[in-house]
Amino acid sequence: MLLPSKRIILTHFDERDAVMAGVIRRLGPFKLARNRNYFQVLCKAIVAQQISTKAAESITHRFQNLFTGARPTPEKVQGLPEKHLREAGLSGQKVKYIKDLSAKFLDGSVRPHRMAYQDNEEIIRQLTGVYGVGRWTAEMFLIFSLNRLDVLPVGDLGLRAGLKQLYNMRALPTPDRVRALGKKWQPFETVGTWYTWRTMDEGIVAY
């Protein structure tokens, strides 16, 4: 999927949300890396659930080192003893999640290559059939593996914290408040989310 140009994005946000348009001008072009290793993106998203970015990066690094320079695959994860996954820093629950994810890739319950023909909600329903994969994890997959431009992860803490700061809110916005803002961004909710993340951390967001 081709990403929209800065001109197209700015024209859209100038008309719909002047605050976000200012952020876009300040931070520069929209860059969304696409990781086609679908299994790896989902593993990283599971690792990142409910922990800090720094902790997630550390555990992900140790997890990937278990595969001695190769990428994690469903077959390799299924063959790893749970003890090794725990030693990499994964909680007992997350070990179960990643094991179930690999099993569902292997048995065909998850078929990412069909997802180009499915809408966001169909994909979210498929992925949330995996033990431990909730809506947020599925949304990260939509953004970073499929580069869908219309994803608004209303439960994402980084997004909510960034919106609170950008729009001078007294408290973290509720999911409904995030949705109301996201309506102004349609059909570029992912773009608004990405720039909001970058106001909190200027590093390029990637999975």
Active site residues: 156
Alpha carbons 184 and 181: distance in angstroms, whole number: 6
Positive or negative, the Cα torsion across 34, 71, 69, 58? positive
Q: How far apart are CA 150 and CA 43, in angstroms?
A: 23
Q: Which residues of 14-52 are buried (b: 16+ CB within 10 A; e: fewer)?
A: eeebeebbebbeeeeebebeeeeebbbbbbbbbbbbeee
